[in-house]
Structures are given as structure tokens and as C-alpha cells.
Amino acid sequence: MTYNFRNDYSEGAHPDIIEALIDSNAEQLDGYGEDKYSLEAADKIKAELDCPDADIHFVSGGTQANLLCVSSFLKPYESVVAAQTAHIEVHEAGAIEFTGHKINTYPTIRAK
């Protein structure tokens, strides 16, 4: 099998994930990350990080994660520096620049 890491939305979910979704679909659960699955995942992440007090929050996708990080970590006058072919520039620039942060690009050879 050949893998292409161009983005996080070009294909469907792994069959095991689809099966787990089908199995849990009819369950009545709390929302907004308070369901048993999100809480269990957060506990596993905290254990892996060896940081029991970590504050774990889940978002719906990579663009949203990048948007939150850029808007939270950068000062208003700072920008993202990325290759012209970077995913954050090619696929997410509108979302990132909506926060008021510029993406400054530079030419690369084979995206390196």
C-alpha cells in the first residue's frame, strides 16, 4: 500500500474506526469532549506525556488545530514562516490569515 500524506481529509476512515463508530452510534453520550471516549483518550494522552495535570482539548481537524495554535501562540505582529508548498499555506492560508497572522513563504527545493 502506498501512503500519501498530502492532507488529513483525502480519504475515509480506517475500517476499525468505522466499526467502532457503528458500534457506539446509538449511545447517548455527553458532548463537548465530556463523553467517555474523549475522557479515556485524554487520560491516555496524559499518561503518554507523563503529565497527569495536562489540559487536553480535541478539535475536529488539522486546520482547526493549526488555527487555534497560531492564534494562541503568536503575538499579533508575528507571522508563520513556511515553504511555498506547505500545507498551512496551500490548504489553510485563508483560515490562518483570518486570525490576522500572515503566512510568509519562501521557495524550496522538493519542499525541503
Question: Which pLDDT score is estimated for 110?
Answer: 74
Q: What's the rounded Cα separation, in Å, for the pair 46 and 44? A: 5
pLDDT in tens, 80-93: 999 998 888 888 87
Element (H, E) at 103: strand 103-106
Q: Is residue 94 predicted with pLDDT exceeding 70?
A: yes
How far is it, in rounded angstroms, from Cα 18 to Cα 96?
Answer: 30
Report residue 13's pLDDT band, with 50, 70 and 90 as the boundaries: confident
Tens-digit pLDDT profile for residues 45-75: 999 999 999 999 999 888 889 899 999 999 9
Residues 6+ apart with CB under 8 A from 81: 103, 104, 105, 106
CA dist., res. 58 & res. 75, Å (int)? 23
pTM of the model as a whole: 0.70
